[in-house]
């Protein structure tokens, strides 16, 4: 997959646990964990907005594009 999710890095930078972020964005731990590990196929803008607000970051801080084959 060419899109890498950097949610774990942002959470570590903010010293925020998965449980804490899940409660702030009103998401289950399982769904947030699936997003963090890249197992989700998509994300709603409303959810992305909540995560960015809770982590005080930009969407580009959470995702990285890497060309296939690198």
Domain residue ranges in the chain: 3-65
Determine the pLDDT at residue 38. 87
Q: Which CATH superfamily is domain 3-65 in?
A: lambda repressor-like DNA-binding domains (1.10.260.40)
Determine the pLDDT at residue 67. 87
Residue keyed to tokens 């399982």: 30
Q: How many helices (H) and strands (E) does the chain have?
A: 5, 2
pLDDT at 40 over 70: yes
pLDDT band at 2; cut points 50, 70, 90:
confident
pLDDT band at 15; cut points 50, 70, 90:
very high
């Amino acid at each position: 997959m060419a899109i890498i999710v950097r949610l774990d890095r942002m959470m570590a930078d903010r010293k925020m646990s998965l449980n804490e972020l899940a409660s702030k964005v009103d998401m289950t731990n399982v769904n947030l964990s699936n997003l963090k590990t890249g197992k989700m196929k998509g994300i709603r803008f409303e959810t992305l907005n909540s995560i960015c607000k809770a982590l005080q970051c930009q969407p580009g801080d959470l995702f990285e594009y890497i060309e296939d084959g690198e």
